[in-house]
Amino acid sequence: MHTKTSWPKAGTFFLAGVASAFLVGKVSAVLPLLRAELGLSLFQAGLVVSIFNLIAGCGGVMFGAMADRFGHARIGLAGLVVAAAGSLIGSFAETPAMLLASRVVEGGGFFMATVSIPPLLLRVAAQADRQKVLGLWGAYMPTGTGIMMLTSGLLAAYLGWRGIWVLTACLILVIAVFVALAARSVRSTGKPGTSISFADVRRVTRHRGPLLLALIFGAYAGQFLAVTAFIPLILVEHANWSLAAAGTAGAGIIAINIIGNLASGPVLDAGYSRKAVIIFATIAMIIGAALVMADGLPVAVRVCGGLLFSAVGGLIPGALFSGTAVHAPSPGLMSTVNGLMMQGSSIGQALLPTLVSLVVGMTGLWASALLVTMPAALIVIFAAYGLGRLENQNSVEHPA
């Protein structure tokens, strides 16, 4: 156990997550270019965006088990290299099938990296800073996605979408070098030469804690994407904003999620329970979603609702990631728990935006989206109560 947190190493590992999230954010702004050049159908364009969720939804827990079995640093670095290779291959795509295949490779690398890093963060963190460090990790996705959403539209005018794919690959490889250097002095884990243990997966999934974490993350992430993904469209259709302005506002709303991510550690350290933090953030998300989706409200109010929804909702990922150290059946199974959480997140992100689009399409009212997001919010609240009872029973509300 470190007596002092190595913030340079923690920052390096965090940047690995940010670079991985570039793979998610790089797509949105260049979808029109992809459709024009490769002749993507609307369905294929949707797959380019969502293929990550399909991969993790099918096997996220197995990516985590792989990291626990073969070593977090090894699998994390391998994931970064695989992700960069996928992005580089995609830059040469001449058909929709080749682009989608490259996205599958990117997705595999992305999840290998992102489920492996939280245990590395704990290994360079002092006991007193564990909540802060894992709260920082919770910000990797909005940071990387927001940066790339804001910049890829501008870069596309100079580099084209293929240049952005190459640039993303280069950035990931540069970060991978720094991760390799930072990980040299981090104690190695895993059992090289052994196979993935399905017994480890069963051990994790038989515990209520990891299952509740995955359920909460899935319902949270599904709500988050179901609301934020449609904000630019709402601004264009109902406020006559330009595509560029609406896209920038949407990226800003996603990026402000970082505030909650970073605040989660200090809030938990201040003595607030994980249950209370999650429920408070969920109530804020309910109010924010209602403001965003209310058809008759002024656009400024709807944008403020989006900011509330995202900023306060950001408390939830940090609270959940810090919970993996509490609810993993053993320290060596943290990545398996992370993988299960990512699997829940991906299922939620695949299902809820689709349901919102179907319901709004049938009713013609954005307010009807609440018929999807409200039940998801209630699931988070009830699951948080279950998580709180479990932590109270085990006397681990504030883990050492």
Is the Cβ–Cβ distance between 339 and 64 less than 8 Å? yes
- Rounded to the nearest 10 degrees, the angle between the axes of helix 274-293 and helix 370-394 is 170
- Three-class SS state of 126: strand
The pLDDT assigned to 259 comes to 93
pLDDT, tens digit, for every residue of 1-31? Answer: 456 888 889 899 999 999 999 998 888 767 7
Distance CA 14, CA 1 (A): 20
Of the candidates 112, 103, 111, the residue with the CA atom closest to the CA atom of residue 168: 103
Homologous superfamily (CATH) for 1-183:
MFS general substrate transporter like domains (1.20.1250.20)
> Tokens 């894992």 sit at which residue?
134
What is the reported pLDDT for 224? 92
Whether 1-183 and 197-394 share one fold: the answer is yes
The pLDDT value recorded for residue 15 is 94
pLDDT of residue 3: 66
Q: Chain centroid to CA 388: how far?
A: 23
Q: Determine the pLDDT at residue 42.
A: 59
Considering the entire predicted model, what is its pTM? 0.80
Name, in order, each residue with C-beta under 8 angstroms of 378's C-beta and a sequence gap of 6 or more.
none
pLDDT given for residue 142 in this prediction: 85
How high is the pLDDT of residue 39?
A: 86
21 vs 14: CA distance, rounded Å:
11
H/E segment holding residue 133: helix 130-137
pLDDT for res 357: 80
- Over the chain (400 residues), the average pLDDT of each successive run of 10 is 78 93 83 81 70 69 69 88 95 91 90 86 83 82 85 82 94 95 71 53 79 94 87 81 78 89 90 94 97 90 95 94 83 79 85 84 89 96 94 60
List of residues 6+ apart from 56 with CB closer than 8 A: 63, 107, 111, 342, 343, 345, 346
How is the chain split into domains, by residue range? 1-183, 197-394
pLDDT of residue 398: 44
CATH of range 197-394; options 1.20.1250.20, 3.30.70.1290, 3.40.50.10780, 1.10.645.10: 1.20.1250.20
Cβ-count burial 209-228 (b if 16+ within 10 Å, e if not):
bbbbbbbbbbbbbbbbbbbb
